[in-house]
Amino acid sequence: MPFQDSDITGGKVCIKSSMTSGETLASDGLVRGELALQAADGRLIYKDSAGAIQGFPGGDGINKIVALTQAEYDALTPDATTLYVITD
């Protein structure tokens, strides 16, 4: 099925945002056509076709993306669920 305009948002994408790390979104917190940006954790959240809240990155693998310098990376203990992007 091709992409369609949302009947709820009039064909516009609505974005909600949070700067609080670890904050969760209830299943009634989004409608089709809305996205939530969890900026503190580097996640983009959406409601799937079954009505469940999903996130990207998500699953049991990567759940956070962090940009940092090589020196910053060398000074930390890496987390297996974080994707590190070296910027220098």
pLDDT digits (tens, 9 = 90+) for 8-43: 545 566 677 777 777 776 667 777 767 887 777 777
Question: pTM for this one?
Answer: 0.47
Cα dist from 76 to 3, 20, 72, whole Å: 42, 22, 7
Amino acid (1-letter code) at residue 22: G
The answer on 38 and 51 residing in a single domain is: yes
State the pLDDT at residue 73. 93
What pLDDT score does 5 carry? 46
Number of domains in the chain: 2
Cβ 65 vs Cβ 56: under 8 Å: no
- Residues 11 and 48 grouped into a single domain: yes
Whether residues 67 and 39 share a domain: the answer is no
Q: pLDDT of 34-80, one tens digit each?
A: 788 777 777 788 877 787 777 776 555 566 778 899 999 999 999 87
Amino acid at 51: G
Helices (H) and strands (E) in the chain, counts: 1, 6
Query: What does the pLDDT read at residue 41?
Result: 75
The answer to whether residues 64 and 35 belong to one domain is no
